[in-house]
Structure 1
């Protein structure tokens, strides 16, 4: 593997943090927040008539839509998957999610100028802290990354036992600790490479960029983690050969596998292999085989039109699900 100056390799340098899923309740309001305020673009949009076999839309039996947004192609930067369940009225958001940190001057300016003040927590010369329409917290840094860099710096999640969680992610999932930005109360983890060389463009074999990617921060809290029904899921890429080996490792260490390894997709040459895990606090983790996902995550130039067409063609079910889980089926049922 080639390297630049001040380069560090993770113990598993062929994996990468790809995206984080968020359950949303108002697609137009959320589009305004991510695109008009944060400055991202709609990269892909899909409409699904049935629930995802890998529970991508949560534990709901509902038609749903998936909108991918970001500052660039997912093969180069961290993005967000915004999931809208047509038959779900709302969600209970717990304390599992802490924040996302973004370094982008334009986003700061947009928030100050365009965002309703009720969504702004704090504002100073260095940063502004805002919330999305569904309450997700974003820390916007009044600075820019280098050209072509990844503005999304960090995904932060709360944990009830930092030591146990760090052991899970480092020993089992082989993430590396960012020692300079960690202490007894929080730890930053990453795959890939950190470098000050702006000309470095190290990639995985399939083509995913590894330089200076979004980090995962685990924050110790003193209360039990409540994920509610509005919980998210983080996705990592890895070689397809790693999917089953990760599954076996997690199983052998007696941790939870939510969805055993399976293939998603309709066409044989576009199927992606995934396994869904659950960490010690039940934060969901998806590992996806990078070879076919690299093709699947290409930006669709018609994504914006598909997003608006989806609003027109898929009316909401008047008998929406209410919040609450049927313990016998582990699925959300209509009342």
Structure 2
């Protein structure tokens, strides 16, 4: 739902200036991937006038709708916990949209929910997932005309997909020419069968063997520099719950699962801390997660109170009525909050 511009952006102040671009020539310090082998293993659609950056723009000037009752530091956490929030979609760039759609539908079993081409802006969007956008977490792919390669960076980790048979899924992926980076087998120290694959752009997917689940697209893994700080931020500012935390001293990393409900029924955010690594290059491929909220104004105030940086003050997007607010977490990962009722209207 949010348009992402190609790397060749103008030098003037533009929505694309908010996106993290790094020079292709910049060296990338890549710490070990803790999940790579052998370590371990309401109705909400975007109108055609909503550009991909629509949910990723910086603090704007001009008229804004009047904010609802301000939250205080004392009641912010209580309100955040009561807010009706859900992870809506994750946005990232790809170099060959048709190739990626083919891989996701044939190998991962996703459905192409909708596709939108905006030739005057030179980009195309595709929304894919395992069910309707009003009830499922989906991926939003962006293809910018003429840009066939992006730097994924060292900070983004992987997406997680729950499947009923990891071995059969991997066999299918191999038959379709996909790349398997970790063969199927039990996770180190556990019983869950997993495998790791890469899509045509090099994004990693962890396949997790589970029974039937309402949310097969189940994880987004990001690396952070201070896990306790991130957990506190996502709990207090985003209203997420710490579902579990696990330290692996043998491989020098700790993970925390954060979300709005149990892992077997909801998409979750997997935060990974690699010992002694405080910062990561984020590249220019991964963009952000969008989350639904009942009140973008209160959401923005709560984020400010708990140390987040607002990059787009709450209010309606130019040209349409959808209200959004955008922010970055302490590590600079972007999130956009979208008004639930407005999102429903867009999908209609």
Q: Is TM-score (shorter-chain normalized) higher than 0.5?
A: yes
Query: What SS does structure 2 have at the residue aligned with 1:11?
Result: helix
Aligned-partner Cα distance in 2 for 1:174–1:254: 14
Matches of 2:89 and 2:220, distance apart in 1: 9
Q: How does 1:1-335 map to 2 (within 5 A)?
A: 11-12=81-82, 14-49=84-119, 63-105=122-164, 109-115=168-174, 119-125=179-185, 126-146=193-213, 149-179=214-244, 181-183=245-247, 185-191=254-260, 193-194=261-262, 212-221=265-274, 222-223=276-277, 224-239=279-294, 242-253=295-306, 255-264=308-317, 266=319, 271-297=321-347
Aligned residues: 254
Give the drift of 1:155.
1.5
Describe the superposition over 1:5-44 as per-residue Cα deviations: whole angstroms up to 9, x where unpaired.
xxxxx93451111111111001121011211110011112
Structure-2 change in CA distance of 1:254 and 1:157 (3 Å): closer
Are the counterparts in 2 of residues 144 and 151 from structure 1 also a CA contact under 8 Å? no
8 Å CA contact 1:38–1:107 kept in 2: the answer is no
Give TM-score, length-normalised by structure 2.
Answer: 0.66
Structure 2 Cα separation of the partners of residues 265 and 67 of structure 1: 22
**How large is the Cα RMSD of the aligned pairs?**
2.5
Q: Please list every run of 5 or more consecutive structure 1 residues that lacks an aligned counterpart in the other structure.
A: 1-9, 51-61, 197-211, 299-335
Secondary structure of the corresponding residue to residue 281 of structure 2 = coil
Shift of 1:167: 1.5
Measured at CA, do residues 88 and 78 of structure 1 come closer, stay the same or move farther in structure 2, by a change above 3 Å? Answer: same
Structure 1 stretches of 4+ moved >4 Å? 181-184
- The answer as to whether partners of 1:48 and 1:63 remain within 8 angstroms in 2 is yes
Q: Which runs of 5+ in 2 are unaligned?
A: 1-79, 186-192, 249-253
Give the distance between the partners of 1:123 and 1:164, measured in 2 at CA.
34
Give distance in 2, aligned partners of 1:157 and 1:150: 19
Offset at residue 132 of structure 1 (A): 0.9
TM-score calculated relative to the size of structure 1: 0.69
1:37–1:107 Cα contact (<8 Å) kept: no
